[in-house]
């Protein structure tokens, strides 16, 4: 809705431009744009009355207490002429239809004041007749339509559903195949308009039009919405009908337009017909003083509450010493329950005047949950590792899943939940894996700058795993993605290497920072990952994730110019093994003893197995174990590898001597020989 402050000042005194913007926001009206006294407003779906200058002026008057100055519009009584015949097939679709027949019309350009008002309202001036209908719609919120009366087959107006096979070329020149969902205005024989949406080209007001049938009606919001959906478009008129148009305002808006047509187009009224098939009855809603004060935390009295509601032009009656009965006006279709009235009391009393109090029976020291604190810790650790956080869509499509190599495996992606009415072909299903989202980010970065430095990103979000007959199982995932760096041609700067171990270092740092330093990495084979460069992440025997280099075929499918490395961790599974409770350890009093081991061992034996054997043999005295060298090739025999390990021993209660450490080394070497077939390298 577009409106100018100057236009509103015709009906109510408005405050300054800045204060007016604040009033709109306090009322719940979004201000999308403000420029030199002109406003672009976002109106909520339950307040169709705000889609008019009258409605906004009424709201401003209620909030400021300023007097409302709406023009007096005299409704003309229907005539006794028998020419026009109005019929409504189903009153549930159209409760009221008002028709005014005018002749002596002179089509011309509208005066400047009228054209300026339309431009302020975001509409394009056309001619005086069409401009008047649009002006009254913007002013009073009632959409109107003018038919060229001479183009109608008969003076019989029938409001009915469209029949199979009927078509209509609308005013925009598009031909539409009508369905039974579409409500039509017909001349007794053929459709001449889609009710509440757009008129037909077969009854358009032209430059030579002299006789006009002016329509004002109330159509059911759901029916107009269904018609617009069936045709695939909406209009300013349908936008209002879908939100609610005041049925008691129909004749008044028609009278206002008729008055302007007589003034600006030389029109003469021939006949007026008004068929009110389903009259609207005023609703009464009770509001209790005790309930209002309990919800708002106020100490209002009945007199104050009554005056606040009367500012909204609500009819307020006293039921008893603690309850009011409010009769809602026809333009406030959103007031149905007591809580709706309580909200109006709060708004007019002022949200800033509602005291701040803490809820009862709430542990104010509870703070964030363990999961929330772990999420924050995880984000901090990954940011300190040099990664950037990305926020990706929770929706994807089957093509992206297939490109990520997930369709054939089934181990990373379950059958997804498909959206019934997706807004785009790119987002048709809930994701079951973070991998497609990460690859899409890497692809976009590479497309923007193929020679950019390595991408280092992470995301902490949810995936949605289907469950039989219920809502999906929402699981949190931590995902990390790296892309290899393009070599930098600079004598003073080298490209930072990015490989499997770069990713492993980030994951290890994350797990250690979260208190899971005892996690294990085991060789694995997953289709989206490169064979031999993939590992499962195990924690206390539970598989909590997978990491590795993306398979070359997947890399090619996503047009990634460099190798990509991805880690996918089940955060919910990880949380089950974590605690943020710090574990205090005494600072060692006694010095460590460092020893190195050089081993010859079969190349197929993983380093994890070697580490496990050493830790079991050394016991609690082994403080640290690192692999600092790995070599294959001559003179090492084929099928074997040379491993160099650094071991640190410490006893917290005494100083270790060489003899004690020698015994431990001998025990370790013996265990390695028996369980891994390793030998000390000479």
For position 257, what pLDDT does the model report? 96
For position 412, what pLDDT does the model report? 42
Q: Using pLDDT thresholds of 50, 70 and 90, give the confidence band for residue 529.
A: confident
Please, what is the average pLDDT of the chain? Answer: 88
Mean per-residue pLDDT, 240-253 = 95
Q: Which helix (H) or strand (E) holds 230?
A: helix 221-231
For position 29, what pLDDT does the model report? 93
For position 429, what pLDDT does the model report? 87
Instruction: Compute the distance between CA of residue 630 and CA of residue 610 in angstroms, rounded to an integer.
Output: 13
> Same domain for 246 and 340?
no
Are the beta carbons of 437 and 568 closer than 8 angstroms? no
Mean per-residue pLDDT, 531-549 = 86
> Same domain for 393 and 541?
yes
> Same domain for 504 and 422?
yes
Q: What is the CATH number of the domain that holds 167?
A: 3.50.40.10
Tokens of 322: 């603690």
Instruction: Compute the distance between CA of residue 206 and CA of residue 416 in angstroms, rounded to an integer.
Output: 54
> Same domain for 179 and 97?
yes
Decide which of 583 and 300 is more confident. Answer: 300
pLDDT digits (tens, 9 = 90+) for 440-463: 888 888 877 666 667 889 999 999
Q: What is the CATH number of the domain that holds 380?
A: 3.30.930.10
> Same domain for 412 and 497?
yes
Tokens of 321: 């010493």
DSSP secondary structure of 100-169:
EEEES----PPPHHHHHHHHHTT-----HHHHHHHHHHHHHS--EEEEEGGGSSSSEEEEEEPPTT-EEE
Q: Using pLDDT thresholds of 50, 70 and 90, give the confidence band for residue 365.
A: low
Q: Write down the residue that tokens 């993983």 correspond to.
A: 606
Q: Residue 341: is it exposed, middle or buried by C-beta count within 10 angstroms (0-12/13-18/19+)?
A: buried
Residue 48 has, within 13 A of its CA and on its CB side, a CA count of 26
Tokens of 177: 């195949």
Question: Could you tell me which residues are beta bridge partners of residue 177?
Answer: 167
CA 681 to each of CA 385, 597, 678: distance values in angstroms, whole numbers, following the listed order: 37, 8, 9
Is the pLDDT reported for residue 103 higher than 80?
yes
To the nearest whole percent, how much of the chain has pLDDT over 70?
A: 94
Mean per-residue pLDDT, 660-665 = 89
Q: Which residues neighbour 19 within 8 Å (Cβ) at sequence distance 6 or greater?
A: none
Q: What is the CATH number of the domain that holds 56?
A: 3.30.56.10
CA nearest to 462, candidates 393, 508, 548, 407: 393
> Same domain for 290 and 268?
no
CA nearest to 308, candidates 349, 353, 350, 354: 349
Mean per-residue pLDDT, 531-552 = 87
CA 466 to each of CA 430, 444, 570: distance values in angstroms, whole numbers, following the listed order: 9, 29, 16
Is the pLDDT reported for residue 682 higher than 70?
no
> Same domain for 298 and 424?
no
Tokens of 418: 């498909």
Are the beta carbons of 478 and 392 closer than 8 angstroms? no
Decide which of 562 and 47 is more confident. Answer: 47
For position 408, what pLDDT does the model report? 44
Instruction: Compute the distance between CA of residue 389 and CA of residue 438 in angstroms, rounded to an integer.
Output: 11
For position 489, what pLDDT does the model report? 57
For position 177, what pLDDT does the model report? 93
Tokens of 51: 């889609």
CA 448 to each of CA 351, 376, 441, 444, 453: distance values in angstroms, whole numbers, following the listed order: 47, 30, 11, 6, 12
Mean per-residue pLDDT, 103-117 = 95
| Domain membership flag for residue 608 | yes
Is the pLDDT reported for residue 337 higher than 50?
yes
Cis peptide before 635 (omega within 30 of 0): yes
Q: Using pLDDT thresholds of 50, 70 and 90, give the confidence band for residue 498.
A: confident
> Same domain for 247 and 394?
no
Mean per-residue pLDDT, 473-477 = 89
CA nearest to 549, candidates 658, 427, 650, 435: 435
Mean per-residue pLDDT, 13-42 = 92
| Domain membership flag for residue 586 | no
Q: Which residues neighbour 454 within 8 Å (Cβ) at sequence distance 6 or greater?
A: 482, 483, 484, 485, 496, 498, 562
Is the pLDDT reported for residue 193 higher than 50?
yes
> Same domain for 645 and 536?
no
Decide which of 399 and 32 is more confident. Answer: 32
Give how many domains the chain has, as a whole number.
5
Winning range, highest mean pLDDT, from 181-190, 551-560, 612-621: 181-190
Instruction: Compute the distance between CA of residue 217 and CA of residue 157 in angstroms, rounded to an integer.
Output: 12
Q: Using pLDDT thresholds of 50, 70 and 90, give the confidence band for residue 295.
A: very high
CA nearest to 212, candidates 267, 249, 259, 131: 267
| Domain membership flag for residue 582 | no
Length of the chain: 682
Q: Residue 82: is it exposed, middle or buried by C-beta count within 10 angstroms (0-12/13-18/19+)?
A: exposed
Domain boundary among 547, 575, 603: 575
Winning range, highest mean pLDDT, from 38-52, 556-570, 618-632: 38-52
Is the pLDDT reported for residue 552 higher than 50?
yes
Pairing assessment for the beta strands 520-523 and 473-483 based on DSSP bridges: unpaired
Instruction: Compute the distance between CA of residue 599 and CA of residue 681 in angstroms, rounded to an integer.
Output: 5
Are the beta carbons of 158 and 138 closer than 8 angstroms? no
> pTM for the whole thing?
0.61
CA nearest to 194, candidates 227, 236, 226: 227
Instruction: Compute the distance between CA of residue 27 and CA of residue 351 in angstroms, rounded to an integer.
Output: 10
Q: Residue 183: is it exposed, middle or buried by C-beta count within 10 angstroms (0-12/13-18/19+)?
A: buried
Decide which of 109 and 604 is more confident. Answer: 109
> Same domain for 125 and 267?
yes
Contacts 24+ apart (CB under 8 A), 452-456: 452/486, 453/485, 453/486, 453/488, 453/495, 453/496, 454/482, 454/483, 454/484, 454/485, 454/496, 454/498, 454/562, 455/481, 455/482, 455/483, 456/385, 456/386, 456/387, 456/388, 456/481, 456/482
Is the pLDDT reported for residue 537 higher than 90?
no
Instruction: Compute the distance between CA of residue 164 and CA of residue 170 in angstroms, rounded to an integer.
Output: 17
Mean per-residue pLDDT, 229-243 = 93
Q: Which residues neighbour 445 within 8 Å (Cβ) at sequence distance 6 or greater?
A: 452, 455, 483
| Domain membership flag for residue 364 | no
| Domain membership flag for residue 374 | yes
> Same domain for 266 and 288?
no
| Domain membership flag for residue 559 | yes
> Same domain for 193 and 262?
yes
Question: Could you tell me which residues are beta bridge partners of residue 465?
Answer: 473
| Domain membership flag for residue 79 | no
For position 556, what pLDDT does the model report? 87
Decide which of 138 and 616 is more confident. Answer: 138
Are the beta carbons of 503 and 480 closer than 8 angstroms? yes
pLDDT digits (tens, 9 = 90+) for 63-92: 999 999 998 888 878 887 778 999 999 999
Is the pLDDT reported for residue 341 higher than 90?
yes
For position 488, what pLDDT does the model report? 54
- Look up the domain containing 376 and give its range: 370-575
Mean per-residue pLDDT, 495-516 = 84
End-to-end CA distance of the chain: 86
For position 528, what pLDDT does the model report? 83
Largest CA distance in the chain: 122
| Domain membership flag for residue 451 | yes
Q: Using pLDDT thresholds of 50, 70 and 90, give the confidence band for residue 410.
A: very low
Q: What is the CATH number of the domain that holds 623?
A: 3.30.70.380
To the nearest whole percent, how much of the chain has pLDDT over 90?
A: 50
Q: Using pLDDT thresholds of 50, 70 and 90, give the confidence band for residue 487.
A: low
CA nearest to 84, candidates 224, 258, 211: 211
CA nearest to 441, candidates 416, 463, 414, 459: 459
pLDDT digits (tens, 9 = 90+) for 212-224: 999 999 999 999 9
């Amino acid at each position: 809705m577009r409106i100018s402050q100057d236009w509103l000042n015709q009906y109510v005194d408005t405050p300054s431009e800045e204060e007016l913007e604040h009033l709109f926001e306090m009322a719940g009206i979004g201000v999308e744009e403000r420029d030199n006294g002109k406003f672009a407003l976002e109106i909520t779906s339950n307040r169709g009355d705000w889609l008019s200058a009258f409605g906004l002026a009424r709201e401003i008057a209620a909030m400021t207490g300023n007097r409302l100055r709406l023009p007096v519009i005299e409704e003309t009584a229907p005539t006794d002429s028998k020419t026009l015949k109005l019929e409504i097939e189903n009153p549930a679709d159209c409760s009221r239809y008002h028709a005014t027949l005018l002749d002596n019309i002179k089509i011309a350009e509208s005066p400047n004041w009228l054209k300026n008002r339309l431009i302020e309202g975001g509409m394009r001036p056309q001619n005086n007749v069409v401009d008047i209908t649009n002006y009254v719609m913007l002013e009073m919120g009632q959409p109107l339509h003018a038919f060229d009366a001479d183009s109608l087959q008969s003076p019989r107006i029938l409001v009915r559903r469209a029949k199979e096979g009927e078509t209509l070329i609308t005013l925009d020149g598009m031909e539409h195949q009508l369905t039974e969902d579409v409500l039509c205005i017909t001349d007794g024989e053929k459709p001449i308009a889609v009710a509440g949406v757009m008129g037909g080209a077969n009854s358009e007001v032209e430059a030579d039009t002299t006789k006009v049938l002016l329509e004002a009606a109330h159509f059911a919001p759901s029916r107009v919405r269904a018609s617009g959906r069936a045709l695939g478009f909406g209009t300013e008129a349908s936008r209002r009908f879908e939100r609610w148009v005041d049925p008691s305002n129909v004749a008044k808006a028609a009278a206002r337009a008729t008055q302007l047509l007589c003034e600006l187009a030389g029109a003469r009224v021939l006949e007026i017909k008004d068929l009110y098939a389903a009259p609207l009855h005023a609703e009464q809603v009770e509001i209790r003083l005790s309930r209002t004060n309990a919800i708002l935390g106020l100490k209002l009295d009945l007199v104050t509450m009554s005056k606040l509601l009367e500012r909204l032009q609500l009819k307020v009656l006293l039921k008893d010493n603690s309850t009011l009965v409010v009769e809602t006006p026809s333009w406030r279709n959103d007031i149905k329950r007591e809580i709706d009235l309580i909200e109006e009391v709060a708004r007019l009393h002022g949200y800033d005047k509602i005291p701040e109090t803490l809820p009862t029976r709430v542990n104010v020291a509870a703070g964030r949950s363990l999961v929330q604190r772990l999420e924050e810790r995880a984000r901090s650790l990954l940011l300190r590792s040099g990664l950037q956080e990305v926020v990706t869509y929770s929706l994807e499509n089957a093509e992206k899943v297939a490109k990520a190599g997930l369709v054939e495996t089934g181990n990373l992606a379950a059958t997804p939940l498909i959206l019934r009415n997706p807004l785009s072909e790119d987002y048709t299903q809930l994701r079951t894996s973070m991998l497609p989202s990460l690859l899409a980010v890497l692809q976009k970065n590479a497309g923007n700058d193929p020679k950019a430095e390595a991408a280092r990103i992470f995301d902490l979000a949810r995936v949605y795993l289907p469950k039989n007959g219920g809502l999906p199982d929402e699981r949190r995932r931590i995902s990390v993605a790296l892309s290899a760096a393009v070599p930098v041609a600079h004598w003073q700067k080298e490209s930072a290497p990015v490989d499997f171990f770069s990713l492993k270092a980030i994951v290890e740092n994350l797990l250690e920072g979260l208190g899971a330093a005892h996690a294990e990495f085991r060789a694995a084979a997953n289709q989206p990952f490169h064979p031999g460069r993939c590992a499962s992440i195990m924690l206390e025997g539970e598989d909590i994730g997978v990491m590795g280099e993306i398979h070359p075929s997947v890399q090619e499918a996503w047009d990634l110019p460099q190798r990509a490395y991805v880690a996918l961790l089940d955060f919910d599974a990880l949380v089950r093994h974590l605690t943020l409770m710090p574990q205090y350890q005494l600072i060692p009093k006694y010095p460590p003893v460092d020893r190195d081991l050089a081993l010859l061992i079969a190349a197929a034996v993983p380093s994890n197995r070697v580490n496990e054997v050493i830790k079991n043999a050394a016991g609690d005295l082994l403080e640290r174990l690192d692999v600092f060298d790995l070599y294959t090739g001559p003179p090492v025999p084929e099928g074997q590898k040379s491993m160099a390990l650094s071991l640190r021993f410490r006893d917290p209660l005494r100083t270790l001597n060489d003899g004690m450490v020698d015994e431990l080394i001998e025990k370790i070497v013996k265990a390695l020989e028996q369980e891994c077939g390793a030998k000390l390298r000479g």
